[in-house]
Amino acid sequence: MHFQKNIIVNPDKNKMQDSITKTSFTSRITDWPEDERPREKLIQNGPEAVSSAELIAILLGQGTVKINAVDTAKLLLKRFQSLEGLASASLIEMQEVPGIGPAKAVTLLAAFQLYRNLQKETAQKVVVKFNDPAAVARIYMPIIGHLKKESFYVILLDSSLKKIRDVEVTRGLLNASLVHAREVFNPAIKYNARGIIVLHNHPSGLLEPSPEDLKITKRLSESGEILDIPVYDHLIITENGYYSFKEHGLMS
């Protein structure tokens, strides 16, 4: 009697594996002309002369027996449709691509996060009056726009509409309606803020406010009136844009 084991497979990964066997992915980069190798091309011509796939290949370091680093990079870009899509991928999602193990996935995640940190550092050096929703969004898009979980921030402002500090109130709640007014206004009272702006991200990428977003905005505005700490705006942030309640006439 013969027994057959049940094997769980990833169909997407199998398709990519099939494409590898049907295409000449086996040429090693070390066999290429020197001026076509990603590292050498960057050294000779500068980083601007190197494609995104080649830059990713440099980060990967080397390929596998079946596929070189450049073709692995091309598979990554194809799987996630763009560099932006790859930058938003998780550790597990990256490892679904042939040739990508934990070490290479971690290297890519670290590189993308380093870029976000640079964006954050650069944005925070700019002196901003926080009555400009677009300027506020530019600061916080690299901080929370890419997050997979919802994060809710309060920005504490002085009488000149300059930032005293910001505080992450919650992260990982299913929706903004679960945020309590006391969690938002406690730091405002502690640091003697004259007003606040609240903001949160939409992991879905959608910029339209949900019914829960409208409820929490109304609730916080009413609490701010009682405490004499006005809520100047509520921003919804994604990686590619923002929605301002103030700009849309939704602040009471």
**pLDDT tens per residue, the chain (252 residues)?**
443 433 334 555 555 555 544 444 557 888 898 889 999 999 999 999 999 999 999 999 999 988 999 999 999 999 999 998 899 899 999 999 999 999 999 999 999 999 888 877 876 666 567 889 999 998 999 889 988 889 999 999 999 998 999 999 998 765 555 789 999 999 999 999 999 999 999 999 999 999 999 999 999 999 999 999 999 999 999 988 999 999 999 997
Same domain, yes or no, for 134 and 239?
A: yes
Domain assignment present for residue 6? The answer is: no
Q: Report how far apart, in Å, the C-alpha atoms of 97 and of each of 19, 27, 121 are.
A: 12, 19, 32
**Bridge partners for 32 per DSSP:** none
Q: What is the DSSP letter of 3?
A: -
d(C-alpha 212, C-alpha 90), whole Å? 27
CATH number at residue 238: 3.40.140.10
- Tell me, yes or no, whether 57 lies in a domain: yes
Question: Does residue 233 share a domain with residue 137?
Answer: yes
Contact between 34 and 40 under an 8 Å Cβ cutoff? The reply is: yes
- Domain of residue 63 covers 11-117
Residues 6+ apart with CB under 8 A from 179: 152, 169, 170, 173, 216
How many other C-beta atoms are found inside a 10 Å radius of the C-beta of residue 40? 14
**Domain-ending residue, one of 51, 83, 117:** 117
For residue 3, being part of any structural domain is answered with: no
Cα 157 from Cα 244, distance rounded (Å) = 17
Run of H or E including 198 = strand 195-201
pTM for this entry:
0.63
What pLDDT was estimated at residue 65? 87
Asked, for residue 23, whether it belongs to a domain, the answer is yes
- Residues 157 and 196 reside in one and the same domain: yes
Select from 202, 198, 197, 113 the least CA-distant residue to 150: 202
Structural domain count of the chain? 2
Q: How far apart are the first and last CA of the chain?
A: 76
